[in-house]
Amino acid sequence: MKTSLKIRAAANALNLSTATGLLLAALTGTRVARGPDGLFIGSSYTPRLPLAGAFTVGNVVLCRGGPGALEQHPGLLAHESGHASQYAWCLGLPFLPLYGACAAWSLWRTGDPGSRNFFERNAGLERGGYRELPTVDRGPAVRNFLQRLSFFRQHRTAAADTPPAAPTTEGNHP
């Protein structure tokens, strides 16, 4: 195994992301075996979430296919291996919120959580089963929102500046 992969395995052991992946596998009854490049492969993962054929936690790749299925898709395995490296760079579990933020950004820009997601692009879009999608122009929607916000602010300020109406004495005369 390459030195860089040994360092990755050690980093993900120390930052507890691999332990988290193994715990998730144990809790979900997913069978885990040793895979290439210091990875663990969990097969026949059954819970509904996440909505992915395969995903990675630390050095543990969990997939829905049976034993040996992931090894038959070397591109996808390489993609998931890329995510294992990203866990090491993110010092472990901080990967998850960072990934979530990038997925939200991609969803906003393209309507797809992967296409403009830094982590998916870095691991290889195509190998992960994602497509490069055109970005959606959100400018008009943002401008419209800001205009509405400014309208409501002005409206509220104007309402606050108006002095309260003087009490009327009309109708009190005998």
| Residues within the interface to Zn ion (CB under 5 A) | 120, 128
Give 101 or 141: the residue with its C-beta nearer to Zn ion.
101
Three-state DSSP state, 34: strand
Dist. CA 83–CA 73, nearest whole Å: 16
DSSP E strand boundaries for the chain: 31-34, 40-43, 54-57, 60-63
Three-state DSSP state, 7: helix
| Minimum CB–partner distance for residue 15 and Zn ion (Å) | 19
Phi and psi of 48, rounded to 5°?
A: -65, -40
Residue pair 65/80 in contact (Cβ under 8 Å)? The answer is: no
| Minimum CB–partner distance for residue 120 and Zn ion (Å) | 5
Dist. CA 9–CA 90, nearest whole Å: 14
Which residue minimizes CB distance to Zn ion?
A: 128
| Minimum CB–partner distance for residue 130 and Zn ion (Å) | 7
Give 58 or 128: the residue with its C-beta nearer to Zn ion.
128
Give 21 or 160: the residue with its C-beta nearer to Zn ion.
21
Nearest 5°: the CA angle 151, 156, 161 is 125
Give 92 or 128: the residue with its C-beta nearer to Zn ion.
128
| Minimum CB–partner distance for residue 76 and Zn ion (Å) | 9
Give 105 or 161: the residue with its C-beta nearer to Zn ion.
105
**Which residue type occupies 149?**
L
| Minimum CB–partner distance for residue 66 and Zn ion (Å) | 20
